[in-house]
Amino acid sequence: MTPIRRLAFVVNAQKSGATELAAVLADGARAAGVMVRLIGEPPAGEGWLAGQDACCVIGGDGTILGVAGEAARAQVPVIGVNRGGLGFLTTFSDAEARENFSALLAGSFQISPRSLLSCTGSAGPVGLALNEVLIKAEDGLRLVRLEVVADDELVTEYSCDGLIFSTPTGSTAYNLSAGGPLVHPGAEVIALTPVCPHTLSNRSIIFQQGVRLRVRLRSPGARLLVALDGQRGVAVGEQGTVEIAVARDRLLLAQRPDYSHFAIMRAKLKWGGSATGEQKPEAGGQRPEPGQGV
């Protein structure tokens, strides 16, 4: 990759050690002749990443979710350094960032393009989602009937607590907790998973990349709420229709040259096995109980 000469830092000061790590990495970048821009919380609006070669996000996956839309629009690669929990998106640990930052600045990283979902309501665009679009009743207390149409063809009508429309990246988030499938990040598909469906035969559906999905509310008197990545909620009203499609832009996620998706899955989700195919015994020699993991 091309060396980084202009670097923005987005730092979640609520995460322990994030501010101190940002200061160390920023000093190292300046010493290498890189122009540094320090940002606390991502600003509102668009254009704040214009002219940057990369954006270093220090925090957790939620911090990356907050910058994903603007980074995708600006086509600025994101270097995620984990100071949070699981860290599926913040793929560099604190130690890895400190050890390899000079190499990163020199362009020693690979790019993993990640698809986003574009969501539009009856009143206009709602926004972009890197993980998922959640559609549910605005009061969050009632079962709703939601009709799903794919490219003008009726899929079915769900009676459920809500519907999760997930990207491959988001398949390890709310989608996984709701019983949805894990999807490789390179697949560029949409996974639809109903939340607590009234009909037990309602299961997840995988839709192709170019599909346009439309959701209509069929519950009289109810109102819909659309939430993007669990961070932004928009009410769309009683007669609201929501449309979802794979967005034009991709998030450019920076990873180590030796990054392995399945190695991360084994580590984060506590799977067995190793790169050599050898089974690793669980601590104490016991198997994990069903439901353990994330």
Instruction: Determine the straight-line distance between the first and last CA of the chain, rounded to whole angstroms.
Output: 33
Whether 151 is catalytic is no
Q: Confirm if 113 and 106 have CB atoms less than 8 A apart.
A: no
Distance from C-alpha of 294 to C-alpha of 193, rounded to nearest angstrom: 18
Distance from C-alpha of 221 to C-alpha of 203, rounded to nearest angstrom: 26
Nearest to 192, CA basis, from 236, 202, 201: 202
Residue 17, amino acid: G
Answer positive or negative: Cα dihedral of 160, 184, 245, 236: positive
Distance from C-alpha of 262 to C-alpha of 150, rounded to nearest angstrom: 31
For the CA atoms of 222, 192, 175, 283, the dihedral, rounded to the nearest 10 degrees, stands at 150
Q: Which of 53, 61, 161, 229 is catalytic?
A: 61
Nearest to 129, CA basis, from 87, 176, 167: 167
Q: How many residues does the chain have?
A: 294
State both tokens at 14: 């609520």
Active-site amino acid positions? 61
